[in-house]
Amino acid sequence: MAMQIIVADDDAAIRTVVSQALMRAGFEVRVTSNIATLWRWVSAGEGDLVITDVLMPDGSTFDTLPKIKNSRPDLPVVVMSAQNTFMTAIKASERGAYDYIPKPFDLTELVSIVRRALSEPKKTPRTNVQDDLQESMPLVGRSPAMQDIYRALARMMQTDLTVTITGESGTGKELVARALHDYGRRRKGPFVAINMAAIPRDLIESELFGHEKGAFTGAQARTSGRFEQAEGGTLFLDEIGDMPMEAQTRLLRVLQQGEYTIVGGRTPIATDVRIVAATNKDLRQLIARGQFREDLFYRLNVVPLRLPPLRERIEDLPDLARHFFAAAEKEGLPRKALSQGALDVMRRYPWPGNVRELENLIRRLAALYPQDEIATEIVEHELTNDPIKAPGLDAESSKPVDLSASVERYLAEYFSSFGDDLPPPGLHGRILREVEYPLIAAALAATRGNQVKAADLLGVNRNTLRKKIRDLDISVVRSIR
């Protein structure tokens, strides 16, 4: 007998396309435009899965979801919403939704989510309704790339999985780590952050794990490490690529056995800490150079999360700018807005310092200029005076980047970093990979994640492209139109 899907949406067009797609896929479909009917059917035991919008004429699905999960814990509910924000994704997950899909969405994706939900063994999701959820959003941006991040975060909130966040400097790695903690099940515990690049290398181990009195010169008393301070909570290991080898070995043991020893100590100490790591370096490259343990990489990379640079999600710029102007206003600075021209200039700028650079610019604009509306010329002036210049921005004054020459320079440095020794074997593959990764990522970004167009642009077969995306572990900005 065909599985029955209940579709609830007040938009007749959505009901039609969704039910047609589901019927084509072999499902039986019932549709409704309000929550009252949805609840009547569900409580009568009808339907094997529900797909529902959030805002309905007779209320919000989020208010009914806990009731649905109470009466039918095994019924998967897929929530779709046009309010594509961080809070929607988080709320959906907390109230027990199976998944959340931002509108507009891809019908093929919807059908595959439905199939997956129906084929997975039934498990009762832990609902975790937090009524004190503040509505102020920690993460701003509604671009497809950020929505992918929100969905990934929502899925991870109810778990203790180790997460590694990669992304250029200023893309929000620490902010995401905090959000994982603040909205996750460890939020009552401590959040402890430590930046490997900011601590002298020979002190990192004792900072992390603590030391016994007399463990080394200057160790005058037993001290607790960050692991001990983070007990029951989350430990954020920033710039993990800068972690010295010995500390890596100790960390690996924590991840494998849930215990560690303090420096100079013998007795293993059991620990209950969720690890979130971040890096703006390519850990695979560090592994190839023998500077990062491969086994540790796999333990840390259980859930990899790549934060896109701002230039790959430039559509978030107006939201972010408004958000930072509002923050400046809260600090007592006058209210300001950007002119259309100013926004256009900012859209074309490559933002090498990402969101942090934007935040700093907005602060400067709010503090230094008396106008209520910031004119084009002001932003042009501010951006050209910025000492951090992105490659390519200065196109008129400097020569275009010469790829061969750059690779040559890179290789010279690479070889010399091994002194008299040779680098590990497999150099050809590694270097090609290094070039191929940005090439494919750029093609995908330029075509908004459209793999057909990207394959065309690159001049490769679609299947080849798909395989490369998988092999190179490129996170794809999925097209939703």
Ligand X SMILES: Nc1ncnc2c1ncn2[C@@H]1O[C@H](COP(=O)(O)OP(=O)(O)OP(=O)(O)O)[C@@H](O)[C@H]1O
Residues found near ligand X in the complex (CB under 6 A): 139-141, 167, 169-175, 238, 280, 323, 355-356, 359
CB of 428 to ligand X, least distance (A): 31
Residue (356 or 478) nearer to ligand X, CB = 356
- E-state strands within 25-160: 28-32, 49-53, 55-56, 59-60, 77-81, 99-102
Residue (306 or 323) nearer to ligand X, CB = 323
Residue (99 or 359) nearer to ligand X, CB = 359
CB of 386 to ligand X, least distance (A): 16
Residue (170 or 352) nearer to ligand X, CB = 170
3-state secondary structure of 31: strand
CB of 343 to ligand X, least distance (A): 17
Please count the other Cβ atoms lying within 10 Å of the Cβ belonging to residue 20: 12
Cβ-defined contacts of 367-372 (< 8 Å, 24+): 367/328, 367/333, 369/336, 370/334, 371/336, 372/334, 372/335, 372/336, 372/337
Nearest residue relative to ligand X (C-beta)? 172
Name the residue type at position 154: A
Tokens of 228: 């001990």
CB of 83 to ligand X, least distance (A): 16
What CA–CA distances, in Å, run from 268 to 34, 36, 209, 240, 259?
57, 57, 11, 23, 6
CB of 32 to ligand X, least distance (A): 36
164 has which bridge partners? Answer: 277, 304
CB of 9 to ligand X, least distance (A): 29
Tokens of 309: 């640079």
Residue (69 or 173) nearer to ligand X, CB = 173
Who's near 169: CB < 8 A, 6+ residues apart?
Answer: 280, 353, 354, 356
Residue (98 or 292) nearer to ligand X, CB = 292
CB of 352 to ligand X, least distance (A): 12
Residue (76 or 170) nearer to ligand X, CB = 170
3-state secondary structure of 415: helix
Name the residue type at position 78: V
Say if CB 442 and CB 414 are below 8 A apart.
no
Tell me the C-alpha distance between 127 and 26, whole Å.
31
Tell me the C-alpha distance between 345 and 343, whole Å.
5
Please count the other Cβ atoms lying within 10 Å of the Cβ belonging to residue 395: 10
Q: Which DSSP category does 339 fall into?
A: -
What CA–CA distances, in Å, run from 380 to 129, 342, 351, 353, 368?
47, 8, 13, 17, 15
Residue (50 or 156) nearer to ligand X, CB = 156
- The sign one gets for the Cα dihedral 130, 132, 137, 139 is negative
CB of 133 to ligand X, least distance (A): 17
> Which among 198, 140, 142, 204 is positioned nearest to 172, based on CA atoms?
140
Residue (97 or 149) nearer to ligand X, CB = 149
Sheet holding 191-195, edge to edge: 191-195, 234-238, 274-279, 163-166, 303-306
CB of 383 to ligand X, least distance (A): 17
Residue (81 or 280) nearer to ligand X, CB = 280
Residue (173 or 211) nearer to ligand X, CB = 173
Residue (86 or 292) nearer to ligand X, CB = 86
CB of 306 to ligand X, least distance (A): 11
CB of 141 to ligand X, least distance (A): 5
Tell me the C-alpha distance between 178 and 190, whole Å.
11
Tell me the C-alpha distance between 435 and 370, whole Å.
46
CB of 319 to ligand X, least distance (A): 8
Count how many residues are written for the chain: 481
